[in-house]
Structure 1
Amino acid sequence: MTDLSRDYDGTRVVSDLTLSLIPGEVTCLLGPSGCGKSTTLRMAAGVEGPTHGTVHIDGELVADASFCIPPEKRSVGLMFQDFALFPHLDVTHNVAFGLSGSRQGKLDRVHELLDRVGLAGYGDKYPHQLSGGEQQRVALARALAPRPAIMLMDEPFSGLDNRLRDGIRDRTLEILREEGAAVLLVTHEPDEAMRMADKIALMRKGRIVQLGAPYTIYTKPVDRQAAAFFSDVNVVHGVVGKGQTDTPFGPFLTPALVDGADVEIVFRPQHCRLDFDRPNSPVRPTVEHGVPARGMVVRARFMGNQSLVELAMDHDGSLLKAVVPGVFMPPVGTPLVMSLRRDHAHVFPCLTQSRVDDPWNTSA
């Protein structure tokens, strides 16, 4: 997909999107609802054409602003969140629906796929006799039956309960890799993208804002919004002066930003450390964790295998969160000191600059 755009009634919902899929690789389109993920997938499938840009499959042009080859002629498999099984057909005929060739050849392919998805012996059942997880596996078998070169999946696991979802996702991923198809998976769940993807395309307002491996997307976010999409984040504000930004957690080097620029120091709660405030034995600054800052406990919650503690910080009253392994439930009002892993903190220009127009000094 190259420079793809799509307009609806004069409103652009996908803008200048470029993305390549590779056989045997799972690419996730990740982003909030309404950001253009499903529209991108429909253009890849041929369900609708682009307003601008091109789609090529294996070097062949299949869509541009003037024409669009339909899905059935593109060698693509489609899976949607409602599974879209034919209620009047049994499982065998649902899976065989898109197949051509001899009757025996089609039956052999159906039996092979039902066995691989763990539904051997279910061929004579109807969709209403199946659980949600079983219906999902039938939909997967049907999409894979014609051996598509590309598998396009629009939130196919969203209708499953959490108890089943992880196991079915893992089995689906295993089968997709065995088939060697290029996979494009649309999801709004970061955990799902991290679990399944070889590559994540993070979308926002119709554009890909960051593209890379899950580890890179998570550990090197392009901006505060990208970091916050994967987990809670803490934000400390500061102003650049002489190549650094002073904060209650110590100074951060910001040589690429101009003096006077508003910046945000962004860090995740799991990268914080809490200690009791002991005036006679204070926590000392370290290279790894910087300067500790004091706050008062506002709330503490046990989350199963970890605890979430919120502090109102002494320096400005802002609320910052820390995740602590195990059970740690200090009473409200307990003074604690927080420090953070400086190598896991990110410095970004503030989203709304009030002091300078060009914080990166790109006009120089």
Structure 2
Amino acid sequence: METLGDRMRLQVQSQTNTLTPRLEIRNLRRRFGNRQVVDDVSLSLQSGKVTCLLGPSGCGKSTTLRMIAGVDMQDSGEIYVDGNLICDTVFRVPPERRQIGLMFQDFALFPHLSVCDNVAFGLKGSKDAKRARVQELLAKVNLGWAIDKFPHVLSGGEQQRIALARALAPRPRIMLMDEPFSGLDNRLRDGIRDETLAVLKEEDTAVLLVTHEPEEAMRMADDIALMRNGRIVQQGAPYNIYNAPVDKQAVAFFSDINVIRSTSHGALTETPFGQFLTPGLDDGAPVEIVIRPQHLKLDFDRAGKGPLPTASDGVAARGIVTRARFMGNESLVEFQMDHDASHLKVTVPNVFLPKEGTALWLTIRRDRCFVFPAQA
């Protein structure tokens, strides 16, 4: 008979299991020669969630992935799966026993094996049991009809879905994905990503996706870890990473930026667009105010009236059009500003192509500006 104490112990155990990360890496470091490729990286993943390790080429993303998979060995740090140590600098579980699936840009399907044999490769059990698992996964990726086909008759997108099914076949606890969609045609990529994400969620797999494409990270991730020079510089939900960036480089990684440079005096910075608060900065400290092109606005009503202040957008500043281009859904207009001959870019919905030399007034969305100490 179950007692109150038994129920309390089960509740505590359930809470502990829920809170324990499916994958946790602590203070991983890896050096190649004189270069510190991965520098004190810590990260945790929960089951059913997608975490994107996002950053430019050469920042250490793929090396981190290889250490988790067991293909490469860290110089220091620890790796845990479901709270159990699988690797440090002394103890090491072999890659094939880590219950970690891998997907790479190269699908690496065996051309001489059928789709069924490709997906079943590495599975244990009877032939019927393996074929049943293959049929289950192919149904999830809408390729049940291809079970007895060979890879060469399939499109790139279909081969990618076969590679996904093969990686999921052994029921891995964790899926590591290194730029898996970069080889696909742009027209196919969004659909394939969405299908892949749906299957991974259904399998309740913890996913670590490596990518250098911000759009892909924003589209797929529950959590983004922004990596630069071997370190994670910011981590959080896509909304927070985009709207509360840690520095100018973080803003620039997700979009084009404009930078307005000034100097702090008395916790205020004067700009042609009005004053900005800069608390905590010394007098004379250089300041960079960063704003994305879509958050600059053209003020047609102000033409010829001068820099009059407004309640929401500060002060208008005049610029001269140097270039205008239609980009499909919007137009990109470039200006040389009167106040310091700096250049700013503005995006305008639909078609707007003013002639070179046209004078226009600009205002900025002050709530969309990011104020940072200037970097050397």
Given the two structures, how large is their TM-score scaled by the length of structure 1? 0.95
CA distance in 1, matches of 2:99, 2:232: 25
- Residue 284 of structure 1: how far off its partner (Å): 3.5
- Residue 281 of structure 1: how far off its partner (Å): 4.1
Q: Where does the alignment leave 5 or more consecutive residues of structure 2 unmatched?
A: 1-24
Matched, 1:207 2:231: yes
Matched, 1:71 2:95: yes
Instruction: Give the letter for the 1:34 counterpart.
Output: G
Equivalent residues in 2 for 1:130-145, closer than 5 Å: 130-145=154-169
Post-superposition, which runs of at least 4 consecutive aligned residues in structure 1 deviate over 3 A?
A: 276-284
CA distance in 2, matches of 1:8, 1:282: 58
Q: Which deviates more, 67-76 or 162-171?
A: 67-76
Q: 1:257 aligns with which of 261, 272, 281?
A: 281
Equivalent residues in 2 for 1:158-169, closer than 5 Å: 158-169=182-193
Matched, 1:12 2:32: no
Task: Tell me what 2:26 maps to.
Answer: 2
> Contact 1:81/1:156 (CA < 8 Å) preserved in 2?
yes
Q: 2:260 aligns with which of 213, 236, 245?
A: 236
Task: Tell me what 2:370 maps to.
Answer: 346
SS in 1 for 2:372: strand
Q: 2:243 aligns with which of 219, 227, 246?
A: 219
Task: Tell me what 2:7 maps to.
Answer: none
Matched, 1:46 2:70: yes
- Residue 285 of structure 1: how far off its partner (Å): 1.9
CA distance in 1, matches of 2:278, 2:236: 25
The CA deviation string for residues 44-92 of structure 1, in whole angstroms up to 9 with x for no partner, is: 1111111010001111111112343222100111000001111211110
Q: Percent same amino acid at aligned positions?
A: 65
| Equivalent pairs, count | 352
The CA deviation string for residues 215-249 of structure 1, in whole angstroms up to 9 with x for no partner, is: 00000000000000000000000111011011111
Matched, 1:155 2:185: no
Task: Tell me what 1:112 maps to.
Answer: 136
Task: Tell me what 2:15 maps to.
Answer: none
CA distance in 2, matches of 1:330, 1:118: 49
Task: Tell me what 1:323 maps to.
Answer: 347
The CA deviation string for residues 118-173 of structure 1, in whole angstroms up to 9 with x for no partner, is: 11111122222211101100000000111110010000000001000000000100
> Contact 1:13/1:35 (CA < 8 Å) preserved in 2?
yes
Given the two structures, how large is their TM-score scaled by the length of structure 2? 0.92
Structure (1 or 2) with the greater helix fraction: 2
Q: 1:191 aligns with which of 188, 198, 215?
A: 215
SS in 2 for 1:167: helix
> Contact 2:303/2:361 (CA < 8 Å) preserved in 1?
no
> Contact 1:275/1:337 (CA < 8 Å) preserved in 2?
yes
SS in 1 for 2:113: coil
Q: 2:49 aligns with which of 15, 25, 28?
A: 25
CA distance in 1, matches of 2:229, 2:41: 11
The CA deviation string for residues 11-48 of structure 1, in whole angstroms up to 9 with x for no partner, is: 21000000001101100000000000000111111111
SS in 2 for 1:202: strand
SS in 2 for 1:23: coil
RMSD of aligned residue pairs (Cα, Å): 1.2
Q: 1:58 aligns with which of 82, 93, 96?
A: 82
